[in-house]
């Protein structure tokens, strides 16, 4: 029995390698068949579809944007020019006033009395002139008959001149008294919006030299927009002006303005012109002060408010635009994928410009208007592979305001 058992065991182990080899051969045969199927399936798949479109061609003007503040074109601190007790305030705090409107009245009675006294002095001086003139005529008749000396006649001539000078001095004093009386009515020197009164009725106000501040007044229409331009931006504008690409910002260059709460789109509801650039760059900040002027008929804009201004940075020209989403980044390069005539994907290095409303970007170089740019399906492609191009159109994103 032991011999029989050992004989059957040896036969089992002798057959085992053959069985495993056959199994492995079958397994390998199955794997080879699967690989051949995958390769054939891959070879039979069509090129992936992608959406392509020619760059959008638009006539545009590039703009530079600046943040600044609105300022009044005219601002006046209204002060008393004569001393006295404040008798009347003829406006409501914060109201609009017209040029020449009486705002304050200082008690005029002392100045009316001064005018009357100065007028009397003028009359007295004129009477002395009349007397000196009569005496001079008599002296002229007597000197012709040698009844008085020549020196006496000369004295009468000088007395008349002195009397005439007294008239001039009295008239000047009367004019000064009349001016001071006029200054008791404090009038608006410009039209605009007035601040609150700084002095109440019954208070004593002082004239020059320590004039009392009564209120302030600002003009609102038109209104200034003041902003700072960096030295580099100034140089760029100067280069463009020197080459004839731009008008000088010292000329009446058109500008556009919007307020912080207005939508961040291509709509700029207010327009004006440049009217001033300072004569020096501030060495501390490296900026130069610039100013624009714009109408404010509705008086909506208020001095001191913030705003955004845009200034033309180029003349109008035809630009090529592609979606920002179609631009890839490769280290320091910006690339778009285009489809060649044989439907092969080609990378193109471009030089992008500033962004435009609607998710578009200006392409300064690297593309032609006839190129087919891949705008959808970039994740499915790589350079050199075949694709199935499907026509599309480059358009600004909805709601961009362009």
Sorted by where each begins, the domain ranges of the chain are 49-58+317-391, 63-72+221-312, 75-218
> Does pTM surpass 0.85?
no
163-199 exposure pattern, b = at least 16 Cβ within 10 A, e = fewer: bbebbeebbebbeebbebbebbebbbebbbbbeebeb
What is the dihedral sign for C-alpha 99, 72, 262, 257?
Answer: positive
The CATH homologous superfamily for domain 63-72+221-312 is Efflux pump adaptor protein, beta barrel domain (2.40.30.170)
Structure tokens at 82: 């004569």
Domain at 75-218: CATH architecture: Beta Barrel (2.40)
Q: What is the pLDDT of residue 399?
A: 57
Q: What is the mean pLDDT of the segment spanning 183-196? A: 94
Q: What is the pLDDT of residue 247?
A: 81
23 falls in which pLDDT band (50, 70, 90)?
very low
Q: What is the pLDDT of residue 216?
A: 95
Contact 309, 271 (CB under 8 A): no
C-alpha–C-alpha distance, residues 220 and 71, integer Å: 9
Reply yes or no on whether the pLDDT at 39 is more than 60: no
Reply yes or no on whether the pLDDT at 107 is more than 70: yes
What is the fold, at CATH topology level, of the domain defined by 49-58+317-391? 2.40.420
In sequence order, the 6+-apart residues with CB closer than 8 A to the CB of 384 are 344, 345
């Amino acid at each position: 029995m032991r011999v029989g058992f050992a004989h059957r065991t040896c036969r089992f182990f002798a057959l085992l390698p053959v069985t495993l080899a056959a199994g492995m051969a079958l397994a390998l045969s199955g794997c080879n068949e699967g690989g051949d199927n995958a390769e054939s399936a891959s070879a039979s798949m069509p090129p992936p579809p992608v959406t392509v479109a020619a760059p959008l061609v638009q006539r545009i003007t590039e703009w530079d944007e600046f943040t600044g503040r609105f300022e009044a074109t005219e601002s006046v601190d209204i002060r008393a020019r004569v001393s006295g007790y404040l008798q009347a305030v003829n406006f409501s705090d914060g109201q609009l006033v017209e040029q020449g409107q009486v705002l304050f009245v200082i008690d005029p009675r002392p100045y009316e009395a001064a005018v009357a006294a100065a007028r009397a002095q003028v009359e007295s001086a004129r009477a002395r002139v009349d007397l000196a003139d009569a005496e001079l005529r008599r002296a002229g008749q007597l000197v012709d008959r040698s009844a008085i000396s020549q020196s006496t006649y000369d004295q009468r001539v000088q007395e008349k001149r002195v009397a005439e000078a007294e008239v001039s001095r009295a008239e000047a004093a009367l004019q000064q008294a009349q001016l001071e009386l006029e200054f008791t009515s404090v009038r608006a020197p410009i039209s605009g919006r007035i601040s609150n009164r700084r002095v109440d009725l019954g208070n004593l106000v002082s004239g020059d030299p320590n004039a009392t501040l009564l209120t302030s007044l600002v003009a609102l229409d038109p209104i200034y927009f003041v902003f700072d331009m960096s030295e580099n931006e100034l140089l760029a504008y100067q280069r463009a002006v020197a080459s004839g690409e731009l008008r000088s910002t010292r000329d009446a260059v058109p500008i556009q303005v919007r307020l912080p709460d207005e939508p961040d789109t291509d709509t700029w509801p207010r327009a004006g012109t440049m009217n001033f650039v300072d004569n020096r760059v501030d060495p501390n900040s490296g900026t130069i002060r610039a100013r624009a002027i714009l109408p404010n008929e509705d008086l909506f804009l208020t001095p001191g408010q913030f705003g955004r201004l845009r200034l033309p940075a180029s003349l109008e020209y035809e630009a090529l635009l592609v979606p920002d989403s179609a631009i890839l980044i490769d280290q320091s390069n910006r690339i778009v994928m285009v489809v060649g005539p044989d439907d092969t994907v080609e990378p193109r290095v471009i030089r992008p410009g500033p962004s435009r409303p609607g998710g578009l970007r200006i392409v300064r170089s690297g593309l032609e208007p006839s190129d087919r740019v891949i705008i959808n399906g970039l994740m499915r492609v790589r350079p050199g592979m075949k694709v199935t191009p499907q026509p599309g159109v480059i358009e600004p994103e909805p709601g961009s305001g362009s």
